[in-house]
A = this chain, B = another copy of it.
Amino acid sequence: MASLLRPATWGLFSWRGYCSRGTQGRLGAGFVEALKAVVGSPHVSTAAVVREQHGHDESMHRCQPPDAVVWPQDVEQVGRLAALCYGQGVPIIPFGTGTGLEGGVCAVQGGVCINLTHMDRILELNPEDFSVVVEPGVTRKALNTHLRDRGLWFPVAALCPPDPGADASLCGMAATGASGTNSVRYGTMRDNVLNLEVVLPSGQRLHTAGRGRRFRKSAAGYNLTGLFVGSEGTLGLITAATLRLHPVPEATVAATCAFPTVQAAVDSTVHILQAAVPVARIEFLDEVMMDACNRHSKLNCCVAPTLFLEFHGSKQALAEQVQRTEEIIRHNGGSHFSWAKEAEERSRLWAARHNAWYASLALRPGCKGYSTDVCVPISRLPEILVQTKEDLEAWRLTGTIVGHVGDGNFHCILLVDPEDPEELLRVQAFAEQLGRRALALHGTCTGEHGIGLGKRQLLLEEVGAVGMQTMRQLKATLDPRGLMNPGKVL
């Protein structure tokens, strides 16, 4: 096994030579020609500007461009590309919309970026079975637009920072193990992916639940689908996903309310969940965030810890849910309860939440945003939120807090001057400390953004030596040469 992990020197291309040559020429003309032979010349680029576009995501990890970018047109081409790169010892980096937040597409060892967005068909829709098969170029919004008249939707990962307008690809969301505001009711990608088509590093095609299968549940062998969801491109390239759809709710009601303390907001959340009110979204914004929203969007919201709620159901059911929620909230000292039924009214009510990212950025114009992503057992939320606010002060950082409080997951949006390396270091140190605080409270360093480049040490602390060893063994089994998105996760 060990010999496989050493640099290969056979074939068209020398791995050693690859590393020692300049960026531009690292791949060699012969290899680039071989890529073109697979996908056609127009679908290969080694232009600096293109490579740079593909060397970063929306995070602050520095751009590390691949040596070439290719756009396969179908899964057969993906298989040939993978086999070609793998055979030649060239790293492979899968690329969707580039909207990740943990540097998952940075080409830390160079290599070939496989941009899958040209494969953008909705391959199969089975409304009666609540399932759909999408290629990796299909985004969440594109799918939901397609489904609009079918009475179905895909609810995972709406409205998550950084950019509420960001429209990730569904296969990318599967690779990340993403979730978002609706997961308290509808679950995460882990819960909503039924099957994946994956091109393994060898170029072989794996259907994690068997080809064409789209059952709701199974106990047949090892859960390969679950293994690839959240693997961040380090085990193979996801070339199609079978997703579970949900019926569009008959009606939607939005609500907001303010609390005297973080504890009161979290207690209300726990009580709402304990009362089995099937809340669809329950989002927390701290008073700094609310203040930022007021300034940014000229709102007049209470500057206090605030919950934003959304309910899905029949009109009659919603009336009851809202009433029960209001009772619980008032019992916990909540006030300024407002609610809205119509779409426009709901948008107005949720404006603060919708604009949270930009409102945060506006606190310090010219700064960039960095979002943390810890998740803890819900009972530990008040404790860690209070700690986080103290830490912000101690580290002299500006940050707002917004959270998927029903899941115990929250983001601290930190403002950082990209020209100030010292501040950047403080942001990194703060984020690492926050990760450790979450771990100390039985939580995870990432609820939905993934490990990527920056949280590998935290992952080790989170899963322990045996967990890490097991993950490394799985990686070595499925990617013995370590070429699938190297440097990520492990």
Contact B316–A220 (Cβ < 8 Å): no
Contact B216–A407 (Cβ < 8 Å): yes
Q: Which residue of B lies closest to A188 (CB)?
A: B217
Contact A375–B217 (Cβ < 8 Å): yes
Contact A205–B247 (Cβ < 8 Å): no
Q: Which residue of B lies closest to A404 (CB)?
A: B217
A407 to B470, CA, bound (A): 33
Q: Which residue of B lies closest to A378 (CB)?
A: B129
Contact A187–B176 (Cβ < 8 Å): no
Shortest CB-to-CB span from A39 to chain B, Å, is 23
The residues in A between 205 and 224 inclusive whose CB is less than 8 angstroms from any CB of B are 205-224
Shortest CB-to-CB span from A2 to chain B, Å, is 12
Which of A187, A207, A215 has most B Cβ within 10 Å?
A215
Q: For A219, what are the chain B residues with a Cβ–Cβ distance below 8 Å? A: 176-179, 230, 373, 444, 446-451
The interface-forming segment of A44-52, A57-65, A329-337, A459-467 is: A459-467
Q: Which residue of B lies closest to A127 (CB)?
A: B274
Q: For A489, what are the chain B residues with a Cβ–Cβ distance below 8 Å? A: 221-222
The interface-forming segment of A113-121, A162-170, A388-396, A472-480 is: A472-480
Q: For A126, what are the chain B residues with a Cβ–Cβ distance below 8 Å? A: 377, 379
A128 to B272, CA, bound (A): 11
A-B contact pairs, 18 of them (CB 8 A): A126-B377, A130-B273, A179-B219, A190-B217, A209-B444, A213-B444, A214-B377, A215-B408, A215-B443, A217-B375, A219-B444, A219-B449, A222-B230, A222-B235, A224-B471, A247-B274, A314-B320, A473-B477
Q: For A377, what are the chain B residues with a Cβ–Cβ distance below 8 Å? A: 126, 128-129, 131, 214-216
Q: Which residue of B lies closest to A443 (CB)?
A: B215
Known A-B contacts A223-B230, A226-B227, A470-B224; A444 and B215 likewise in contact (beta carbons under 8 Å): yes
Q: For A235, what are the chain B residues with a Cβ–Cβ distance below 8 Å? A: 222
Tally chain A residues at the interface, Cβ within 8 Å.
99
Q: For A444, what are the chain B residues with a Cβ–Cβ distance below 8 Å? A: 209-210, 213, 215, 218-220
A160 to B110, CA, bound (A): 53
Q: A360 at interface (Cβ–Cβ under 8 A)?
A: no
Contact B273–A247 (Cβ < 8 Å): yes
A188 to B373, CA, bound (A): 27
Q: For A213, what are the chain B residues with a Cβ–Cβ distance below 8 Å? A: 442-444, 462
Q: For A128, what are the chain B residues with a Cβ–Cβ distance below 8 Å? A: 270, 377-379
Q: For A439, what are the chain B residues with a Cβ–Cβ distance below 8 Å? A: 210
Render A305-323 as a binary contact track against B, CB cut-off 8 A, 1 for contact. Answer: 0000000111011001000
Contact B209–A378 (Cβ < 8 Å): no
A187 to B185, CA, bound (A): 12
Q: For A90, what are the chain B residues with a Cβ–Cβ distance below 8 Å? A: none
